[in-house]
Amino acid sequence: MTGETQLRARRTRIKILKAIAGLNRSAGFSEIRDATGLSTGSIYYHLERMNKYVSKDLKQYRITDEGLRLLSEIGVKSVISN
């Protein structure tokens, strides 16, 4: 991946994490899609690569402690202080 592609991927993954965190730390796929405006393929692609930050339980995606820590480190406080 080029630097620009990596940056875009990181931004997309953070967008997904913020959406899940903002939805009480657990969200269905449709909720993530609606909250982010991302395409179905893009969301699936990134979720498959985010095992450390997102876990799947039945049909719900849950942000992990590591995912919350990442958002905290980059300064996203409003969605994680619920």
Q: Which residues contact 20 (CB under 8 A, 6 or more apart)?
A: 26, 27, 32, 54, 61, 62, 63, 67
- Sheet with 60-63, strands from edge to edge, namely 26-28, 60-63, 54-57
Domains in the chain, ordered, with CATH? 3-73 (1.10.10.10)
| pTM for this prediction | 0.88
- Torsion on CA atoms 41, 44, 49, 53, rounded to nearest 10: 130
pLDDT tens, position by position, 43-81: 999 999 999 999 999 899 999 999 999 999 988 765 554
